[in-house]
Amino acid sequence: MAFGVKRQEVSEWKEAVSRGEIAFLTHFWLDDRFPGCRTVTKAGCADLAKLEAWGRQYGLHPDWIDHKERYPHFDLFGEREYEILKKEGREDLIERFRLTGIQKA
């Protein structure tokens, strides 16, 4: 279940992904399969070669790309989410969602 994201943010993310940019969309998220994770960041890009290359630098396997709709993306959560957002300079998302990189059960 996703919450804590505005419709305009989703639209802007989709537009950036469609333009071939690496774009980030973070929102609160609850999923029993991932206990302790309360957020997820979708790192997307319509240019698959660019998305795959971007993911490789963070140890993300191309098979992990979610090809839903027209917005291919990696789902990032937990410590990996925090570390990637930090390296990408997205302190705005880290602060907004109070990310620490530490999963709490």
Q: Could you report the per-residue pLDDT of 9-68, keeping only the tens digit for each?
A: 999 999 999 999 999 999 998 888 888 888 999 999 999 999 999 999 999 999 999 998
Q: Which two tokens stand for residue 68?
A: 């839903």
| Separation CA 98–CA 92 (nearest Å) | 10
Question: Is the confidence at residue 105, as pLDDT, over 60?
Answer: no
**Domain-wise residue ranges, the chain:** 2-96
Under the phi-then-psi rule, with left for phi > 0, alpha for psi from -120 to 50, and beta for the rest, what region is 69?
A: left
Question: Is the confidence at residue 104, as pLDDT, over 70?
Answer: no
* Listed residue (31, 65, 28, 29) closest to 48, CA to CA: 65
Mean pLDDT of 2-10: 83
Query: What pLDDT was estimated at residue 31?
Result: 81
Per residue in 68-93, pLDDT (tens digit) is 889 999 999 989 999 999 999 999 99
